[in-house]
């Protein structure tokens, strides 16, 4: 029983991130397929999924195509009732649905002025009054969630839920553009972005380069605050400490250097996603820790 998820470029497609987290964070089996969001092939790539026309799009194990993130969320919750996509408490569940619905329908200024990007943090960005209004509304909704749940820190409703999924790209915008929020809400944003699955999503996105950059901002930048501490670099020859890829178990043929040692992976994608954030990958961390 495996779902098929059709996504756009990971560094920029906020809605694709939401779709993937719905499946990945709750352990729902899935395969991911890339749609050519910036390559000019999107319309052709989406044709087999008609009338869906945007990413993400979900195809269920029964073959049903589901477009739009909120419809995908409800479908997954209905078909996987025991994985906890929504909070179990009725009042919290109602509030979580409210927050997700308002995310889908609102915050147009924030979205338009601050396109999601996961590469770097801009310095000196000045948000418009309309974007400040969006941010104030988001903080009001998060405060309501915490009043309902009684949890002052961590996921909005105690246990991680679809509400946290839907607001993770908002967290990326707040951190990436240095937008003004309370210290507590900034900490919540950093917690969302520090999640292993989110780090893996970003690392996979970093395997692709862009020239020109899709959303240029003429401002100084700082490094992304999560997953950039430990430096690895791609190298083009071994021998490596290991003979088999920690992800696939296949013989190694691509290599990286970390802390003066050469490690092998089975293909360029495995190498490059590991170079982007070595500590995002438990199988790799376990392998190097055992040597």
User: Across the strands, what pairs with 161?
Assistant: none
What does the alpha-carbon distance between residue 273 and residue 201 come to, in Å, rounded to a whole number? 9
Report if pTM > 0.75: yes
- In order, the DSSP letters of 24-65 are HTTT--EEEEE--TTTT-HHHHHGGGTT--SS-EEE-TT--E
pLDDT digits (tens, 9 = 90+) for 146-165: 999 999 999 999 999 999 99
**pLDDT value at residue 5:** 98
Q: Which helix (H) or strand (E) holds 76?
A: helix 69-79
User: Going from the N-terminus, what domains does the chain have, and what CATH number goes with each?
Assistant: 3-79 (3.40.30.10), 90-200 (1.20.1050), 230-289 (no CATH)
Q: What is the pLDDT of residue 291?
A: 78
- Structure confidence at residue 252 (pLDDT): 98
pLDDT at 129: 98
In the DSSP assignment, the letter for residue 154 is S
Residue ranges, the chain, pLDDT below 70? none
Looking at residue 251, what DSSP letter applies? B
What pLDDT, in 10s, does the model give residues 96-109?
999 999 999 999 99
pLDDT value at position 79?
Answer: 98
Q: Which residues contact 49 (CB under 8 A, 6 or more apart)?
A: 6, 57, 59, 65, 67
DSSP structure string for 189-240: HHHHHHSHHHHHHHHHHTTS--SS-SS---S-EEE-SSS-SS-EEEES----
**Hey, which residues does 120 pair with through a beta bridge?**
223
């Amino acid at each position: 029983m495996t779902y098929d998820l059709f996504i756009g470029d990971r560094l920029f497609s906020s809605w694709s991130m939401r779709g993937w987290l719905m499946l990945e964070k709750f352990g729902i089996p899935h395969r991911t397929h890339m749609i050519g969001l910036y390559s000019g092939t999107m319309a052709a790539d989406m044709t087999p999924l008609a009338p869906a026309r945007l990413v993400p799009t979900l195809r269920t194990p029964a073959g049903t195509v589901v477009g739009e993130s909120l419809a995908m969320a409800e479908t997954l919750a209905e078909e996987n009732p025991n994985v906890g996509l929504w909070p179990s408490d009725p009042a919290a569940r109602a509030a979580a649905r409210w927050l997700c619905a308002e995310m889908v329908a609102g915050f147009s200024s924030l979205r338009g002025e601050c396109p999601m990007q996961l590469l770097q943090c801009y310095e000196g960005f000045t948000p418009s009054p309309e974007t400040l209004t969006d941010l104030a509304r988001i903080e009001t909704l998060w405060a309501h969630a915490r009043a309902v749940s009684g949890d002052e820190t961590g996921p909005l409703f105690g246990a991680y839920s679809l509400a946290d999924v839907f607001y993770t790209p908002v967290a990326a915008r707040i951190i990436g553009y240095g937008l003004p929020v309370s210290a507590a809400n900034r900490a919540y944003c950093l917690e969302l972005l520090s999640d292993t699955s989110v780090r893996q999503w970003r690392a996979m996105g970093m395997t692709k380069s862009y020239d020109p950059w899709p959303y240029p901002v003429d401002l100084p930048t700082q490094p992304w605050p999560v997953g950039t501490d430990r430096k690895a670099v791609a190298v083009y020859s071994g021998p490596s400490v290991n003979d088999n890829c920690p992800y696939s178990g296949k013989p190694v043929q691509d290599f990286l250097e970390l802390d003066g040692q050469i490690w092998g992976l089975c293909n360029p994608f495995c190498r490059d996603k590991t170079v982007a954030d070595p500590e995002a990958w438990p199988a790799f961390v376990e392998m190097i820790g055992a040597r």
